[in-house]
Structure 1
Amino acid sequence: MPTRSVRDNANTPASITTPVKSDTGNLPAGYQRLHSQFRWQVPEVFNIAQVCSQRWAEAPDTAQRVAIRCYADGALQSAHSYAELQEQANRLSNLLVALGVRRGDRVAIVMPQRFETAVAYMAVLQMGAVAMPLSMLFGPEALGYRLQNSEAVLALADQTALPSLQLLRADCPQLQTVIGVGRRENTRSVDEVNYAEALARSSARYLPVATTADDPAILIYTSGTTGNPKGALLAHRALIGNLSGFVSSQNWFGFDGRANADSRAVFWSPADWAWTGGLMDALLPTLYFGCTIVAQAERFDPQGALQLLGRCGVTHTFLFPTAIKAMMKACPGTARKTVQQQYGLKLQALMSAGEAMGDAVFGYCEQQLGVTPNEMFGQTEINYIVGNCALHWPPRPGSMGMGYPGHRVAVIDEDGVECPTGVAGDVALNRFDVHGDPDPIFFLGYWKNEAATQDKFTGNWCRTGDLAVRDAEGYLWYQGRSDDIFKSAGYRIGPGEIENCLVKHPAVANAAVVPKPDAGRGSLVKAYVVLAPDALAACGNSTRARTALQAQLTQELQAHVKGMLAPYEYPKEIEFVDALPMTTTGKVQRRVLRLQEEARARGEPDA
């Protein structure tokens, strides 16, 4: 079978083989062939900005293609071509050079989904500097730690983030300049630059730095759920490593056997461009393929998201399970019309990641959104390594999928030995693919933390810290984070299956399961439950009605889980809460709840 390149371009970094569907059996015959014929193509000289912007802007037939469509309040605010993206990036690069930014310097980008954010990434990357995404949700302490640790020399920030940054100036001596993006007025502060005026004065011509594929490009800090966050340093080649997974999870992203992807694909995700999911799984790969990405900086709203998907004709998306759960509760569909029909959805692919989806959410996507979801798994350090592709191998509800082409994935034990089928172990990625070639997805290391980098590896295996079981056909089944698994009365408990079961109840919007210390059993299964809007509305403002409902639901939910799972898995205690602690990337922080239970057991008051 011939191998087709991702792009008919001199900088094509990877090859994609179109698999053949199996005539018999559950696994497609083309899956193993896809892996065996896939070869990484990593050029020595490679720059993310060049392949995501410059090459499209310089080609006459693609220069005016829309790169970014910006929406606010449900309406189109502006549309920007690849030519405009590159011109603005050139102007910003020249401005940053004038302000003293040099190759290898860290530049903080504190902006939401907007055109200027994409410009900032392209400008910094084509300079050979290192882009450091920072979430708009970060408070002064979170911002301060990352700015200090990275020794960032300049920050490009949305005007709403400026007050927090100004508070940190005294504690961040390396931070020489803060540029407020979107500010209309001039400032007299020597530390600030009027973005619009400065760009207008800068030249629209810039000669990009010739970076190697191994040069550092992006510094992203992990969520820090166990101590201070660690900065994962990614090379330019990390984008190359993402592509086989991105194309697969997006059902080939418009590929139809030709060398080029369909440029009419439209992508949108609520994932913040300051995180791996938004930057590496959405913005950069969409631009790499010369397609259009929708930008919307507003807070996620399930009905608003569905309206946006329909109004913009979005064909490909990445949605967290938490977001889909919110859609499922707010917009369940009717007997006459599915959600797809109500909102005019045109989805061709939906990727989901961050947590296990579960069959309830999986079924909603198929029956109401009209698309079979492709679950994906990866980490900041080694992103987009496992997942599904509904177009070429059948996803199974609740399964993480299988290793994407080019990635040698295994479930290993403490000694780095691959676990037998059906035995839980640590999901790990080998530094080398099945051909013995280096996998380009690997991060360069943790910033200024060589010990943590070494601890991440067992030989050539990079451990994720996530547990899974591999079945006889090669599918991985997520068991939870290694520190989320607990024992109750001698039974090993994984929270994901119980949470999925709870969410199937119509009164439950979301749930988290953690151990509650118990002298007799070691720990009890405890569930934190967020009620669905309809259940809350039925109570009105009556505290008595809500208390009665919670008492009734406690019994219902316990019986619900008992009837669907093993008897030892039902939650012995249920606590109803208004919201679960979440990371800024939409993951439930079970650790916060677990520590809360441990503190309560010691008699300490809630924080």
Structure 2
Amino acid sequence: MAGSQARDTHAALHGAFRWQVPEHFNIAQACCGRWAEADDAAGRVAILAHGAPNGQGALSYAELQRRASRLSHLLADLGVQRGDRVALVLPQRFETAIAYMAILQMGAVAMPLSMLFGPEALQYRLQDSGAVVALCDETAIASLAAVRKDCPALRCLVGLGAAALRADIDWAAETATRPTRFTLVDTLAEDPAVLIYTSGTTGPPKGALIPHRALIGNLPGFVCSQNWFGFDPEHAARASQAVFWSPADWAWTGGLMDALLPTLYFGRPIVAWNGRFSPELAFELMQQHGVTHSFLFPTALKAMMKAVPEPRRRYKLRLEAIMSAGEAVGDAVFHWCREALGVVVNEMFGQTEINYIVGNCAMNGRDSPVAWPARPGSMGRPYPGHRVAVIDEDGHECPPGVAGDVALHRLDAHGAPDPIFFLGYWNNPKASADKFSGDWCRTGDLAVRDEDGYLWYQGRADDVFKAAGYRIGPGEIENCLVKHPAVANAAVVPKPDRERGAVVKAYVVLSAQAQEERSRAQKAAYEARLVAQLQEHVKGQLAPYEYPKEIEFIEQLPMTTTGKVQRRVLRLQEEARAREAA
């Protein structure tokens, strides 16, 4: 590993990189159609279903294409046309990948929706998008049926399995006899492909419209963060053995654009698994399927670190790369991955509108011509083809060491358009315009750039706060707290204070061991002692003004479905408590 860490060809790679975006491009053709036409299509596995009965756990690229074509014919018979939005409310399973390929190859727009959405969330998105058909299984049929009368554009519900009993159309029955070949719609690279709703800190969710070309824009970051996954001219045999898995929901950007689609683009298998995440299950799954590459949220890695400190003593793993995103990884998790898993975790940063733009490419000792060293706690550097800067409120680049908004320029370093950009927010031109300062697209995430071009995450613009005149970024304090053996996870927010404006407060989830110790002790006394220990722990690591003046122990932190801590929920809770106290 030392050799790869010493090699740094970041500048040379950026200088040599050129975008190659054809005028016509279709994600379904790139991710399935072309592989289905290959001689080995019947034996090349696209999806591996974890936990499936023997003989039913693998879907080939040939079968993926046949079943996608049948579904395309069904959707066409239901009146779906080019540009129409088709909703998917499905977990990780064969049919989810089939649905994406079917919708995209007919030039329609796939609109993934999380199974965790309740009726109100589904209704808003279905109404706003004007979706004409919704595909679902038993996990979502009740909620869809409940809101259907309030969604006039929604003409048809297509149900899978038990959902067929309450839907208009039985997916399996209606596709069984339809043709297995479908004529691909010759979409432009600029045509819309996916509509993903993002939850902002204020106002209703906004639908980010993603074009077909955005997949091309994602590829450099995927290849680098996954240490040349499926694309390694010097190690062709090794690349052909790559197997991907991520617990990230395929309904979200992380699961779709960072996992499912790029894996299929390179013709490799991805493991599908639907269930509640647990560290032990994650290790068992990776061992059983020989997973070599993964995308794991920092929250998942923290849980795995706490539950199984020495995984290689219990499991036979083939891991070659881990990408992590959504929150700052922190040096505690970084060092555990390197020492306990033998993998340098490659942190990545992006968002739905401009995904996969910053990160690392630490090659874990492989003899590769391209790598740049990962620095613990850093977001990394811009991936090839992306011109990233830290800018101030006026849109000017900040000098090293000065915090600002991470932003991406419409043009790369050579003046060519960057294909990763979204097309805009659905029916919201004002929000689309507000996202930009000139040619810079703002992310709303704060960072500091060092002299070597590495970015260091400071938090969301609305997560950073002042306490007693000091500017506080919660990520550093949370990372410090997680290093303590009693802490499984933590979130830091401001608590309103009459004299100081705000004080630092931490919400802490105890590790399993600490929970056992508390259950055997007098709860109040145990927690009081632990509060003092954690405060001293932070004081010894960070600045004196950063230690949490108050610590509250909770069973779990409020999380988004993409694995991000919802600090805003906790912050609003503190503000409500302060109003009640006043």
TM-score by length of 2: 0.96
Structure 2 CA distance for partners of 1:23 and 1:282, relative to 1, 3 Å: closer
Matched letter for residue 244 of structure 1: P
| Cα shift at 1:349 | 0.3
Matched letter for residue 61 of structure 1: D
| Cα shift at 1:423 | 0.5
Residue matched to 1:276: 253
Matched letter for residue 574 of structure 2: E
Question: Which one of the candidate residues 541, 556, 572 is aligned to 2:533?
Answer: 556
User: For the residues of structure 2 that align with 1:81 and 1:258, how far apart are their CA atoms?
Assistant: 26
The alignment status of 1:346 with 2:356, answered yes or no, reads: no
Question: Which one of the candidate residues 300, 303, 327 is aligned to 2:280?
Answer: 303
Contact 1:128 1:211 in 2 (8 A): yes
| Cα shift at 1:369 | 1.4
Structure 1's consecutive aligned runs of 4 or more residues displaced over 4 angstroms after TM superposition are 21-24, 26-29, 73-77, 258-261
User: For the residues of structure 2 that align with 1:98 and 1:374, how far apart are their CA atoms?
Assistant: 45
Contact 2:36 2:65 in 1 (8 A): yes
Structure 2 CA distance for partners of 1:123 and 1:254, relative to 1, 3 Å: closer
| Cα shift at 1:263 | 2.6
State the aligned residue count. 574
| Secondary structure of the structure 2 residue equivalent to 1:201 | coil
Structure 1 residues 517-528: aligned runs within 5 Å? 517-528=496-507
Contact 2:230 2:268 in 1 (8 A): no
Residue matched to 1:545: 522
Question: Which one of the candidate residues 200, 208, 224 is aligned to 1:232?
Answer: 208
| Secondary structure of the structure 1 residue equivalent to 2:9 | helix
| Cα shift at 1:224 | 3.4
Question: Which one of the candidate residues 69, 72, 81 is aligned to 1:93?
Answer: 72
User: For the residues of structure 1 that align with 2:526 and 2:2, how far apart are their CA atoms?
Assistant: 50
Residue matched to 1:456: 435
The alignment status of 1:361 with 2:338, answered yes or no, reads: no
Question: Which one of the candidate residues 496, 508, 519 is aligned to 2:475?
Answer: 496
Residue matched to 2:192: 216
Q: Deviations 1:481-501 (Å, cap 9, x if unpaired)?
A: 011111111111100000000
Structure 1 residues 282-301: aligned runs within 5 Å? 282-301=259-278
| Cα shift at 1:182 | 2.0
Residue matched to 1:570: 547
Residue matched to 1:38: 17
User: For the residues of structure 2 that align with 1:28 and 1:368, how far apart are their CA atoms?
Assistant: 23
Residue matched to 1:171: 150
Contact 1:69 1:76 in 2 (8 A): no
Contact 2:332 2:483 in 1 (8 A): yes
Q: Deviations 1:499-540 (Å, cap 9, x if unpaired)?
A: 000000000010000001111111000000011111112233
User: For the residues of structure 2 that align with 1:240 and 1:215, how far apart are their CA atoms?
Assistant: 13
| Cα shift at 1:61 | 2.7
Matched letter for residue 386 of structure 2: H
Matched letter for residue 150 of structure 1: S
Contact 1:536 1:546 in 2 (8 A): no
User: For the residues of structure 2 that align with 1:459 and 1:259, how far apart are their CA atoms?
Assistant: 43
Question: Which one of the candidate residues 458, 471, 482 is aligned to 1:479?
Answer: 458
User: For the residues of structure 2 that align with 1:266 and 1:206, how far apart are their CA atoms?
Assistant: 29
| Cα shift at 1:257 | 3.1
User: For the residues of structure 2 that align with 1:343 and 1:259, how far apart are their CA atoms?
Assistant: 25
RMSD: 1.9
| Cα shift at 1:440 | 0.2
The alignment status of 1:597 with 2:574, answered yes or no, reads: yes
Structure 1 residues 9-48: aligned runs within 5 Å? 28-48=7-27
Moved more, 50-59 or 250-259: 250-259
Question: Which one of the candidate residues 177, 201, 211 is aligned to 1:201?
Answer: 177
Contact 1:27 1:473 in 2 (8 A): no
Matched letter for residue 220 of structure 1: I
User: For the residues of structure 2 that align with 1:236 and 1:404, how far apart are their CA atoms?
Assistant: 20
Structure 2 CA distance for partners of 1:76 and 1:462, relative to 1, 3 Å: farther
Residue matched to 1:317: 294
For structure 1, the residue ranges without an aligned partner over 5 or more in a row are 1-20, 334-338
Q: Deviations 1:97-118 (Å, cap 9, x if unpaired)?
A: 0011111000000000000000
User: For the residues of structure 2 that align with 1:27 and 1:466, how far apart are their CA atoms?
Assistant: 30
Structure 2 CA distance for partners of 1:604 and 1:455, relative to 1, 3 Å: farther
Question: Which one of the candidate residues 409, 412, 419 is aligned to 1:430?
Answer: 409
| Secondary structure of the structure 1 residue equivalent to 2:256 | helix
User: For the residues of structure 1 that align with 2:524 and 2:218, how far apart are their CA atoms?
Assistant: 48
Residue matched to 1:386: 358
| Cα shift at 1:226 | 2.3
Question: Which one of the candidate residues 53, 71, 81 is aligned to 2:50?
Answer: 71
For structure 2, the residue ranges without an aligned partner over 5 or more in a row are 364-370
Question: Which one of the candidate residues 233, 242, 246 is aligned to 1:265?
Answer: 242
User: For the residues of structure 2 that align with 1:268 and 1:75, how far apart are their CA atoms?
Assistant: 20
Residue matched to 2:366: none
Residue matched to 1:52: 31
User: For the residues of structure 2 that align with 1:233 and 1:63, how far apart are their CA atoms?
Assistant: 34
The alignment status of 1:514 with 2:500, answered yes or no, reads: no
Contact 1:407 1:439 in 2 (8 A): yes
Matched letter for residue 159 of structure 1: E
Contact 2:286 2:317 in 1 (8 A): yes
User: For the residues of structure 2 that align with 1:132 and 1:370, how far apart are their CA atoms?
Assistant: 38
Q: Deviations 1:175-221 (Å, cap 9, x if unpaired)?
A: 1101111238x64x6x5111111111211111010000000000000
| Secondary structure of the structure 1 residue equivalent to 2:347 | strand
| Secondary structure of the structure 1 residue equivalent to 2:561 | coil
Residue matched to 2:367: none
| Cα shift at 1:23 | 9.0
Residue matched to 1:153: 132
Structure 2 CA distance for partners of 1:71 and 1:23, relative to 1, 3 Å: closer
Residue matched to 2:425: 446
Identity, % of aligned pairs? 68
Contact 2:348 2:356 in 1 (8 A): yes
| Secondary structure of the structure 2 residue equivalent to 1:347 | coil
User: For the residues of structure 1 that align with 2:436 and 2:357, how far apart are their CA atoms?
Assistant: 16
| Secondary structure of the structure 2 residue equivalent to 1:514 | strand
